[in-house]
Amino acid sequence: MSNLAKIERDPNYQELVRRRSSLGWLLSAIMLVVYFGFILLVAYAPKFLGIPLGTGVTTIGIPIGLSVIVLAFVLTGIYVRQANSSYDVLIRKIVEENRS
């Protein structure tokens, strides 16, 4: 497959791979750290999550838990936005240049 070597040398392809992998792994790492951070808090510091916010009964654990859920959605959104705006353009260029 001579086309393969050509695509691999294509600067657009190299940029696509570099950008997509670095963002993908970075966001995965953030999600992992945040989630396992949360799990470790649950396991080792349940009392910390039970600290009340202000004078009410709502504890600090509630916004923390909810924000992990919201963060999952936001991170996914960041990735999809990046992919829609820049990766797709690069992919289109690569496909056009390497049409055989």
Q: Which of 17, 22, 33, 89 binds another protein (CB under 8 A)?
A: 17
What type of residue is 14? Q
Query: How many whole angstroms separate alpha carbon 52 and alpha carbon 73?
Result: 26
Binding pattern for the stretch 53-92 against another protein, x by CB under 8 A and - elsewhere? ---xxxx-xx--xx-xxx-xx-xxx-xx--xx---x--x-
* Strand ranges in the chain using DSSP code E only, listed in sequence order: none
| Rounded Cα–Cα distance for residues 91 and 20 (Å) | 11
Q: Nearer Cβ to another protein, position 11 or 58?
A: 58
Which residue in the block uniquely carries the two structure tokens 């496909």? 95
Task: Quickly count: other Cβ atoms within 10 Å of residue 90's Cβ.
Answer: 19
Report the alpha-carbon distance of residue 85 to residue 90 in Å, rounded.
9
In the complex, least distance from residue 6 CB atom to another protein, rounded to whole angstroms: 10
> Binding to another protein by residue 15, rule CB under 8 A?
no
* Residues of the shown chain interacting with another protein in the complex, contacts defined by CB under 8 A: 1, 4, 7-8, 13, 16-17, 20, 23-25, 27-28, 31-32, 35-36, 38-40, 42-44, 46-47, 49-50, 52, 56-59, 61-62, 65-66, 68-70, 72-73, 75-77, 79-80, 83-84, 88, 91, 94-95, 98
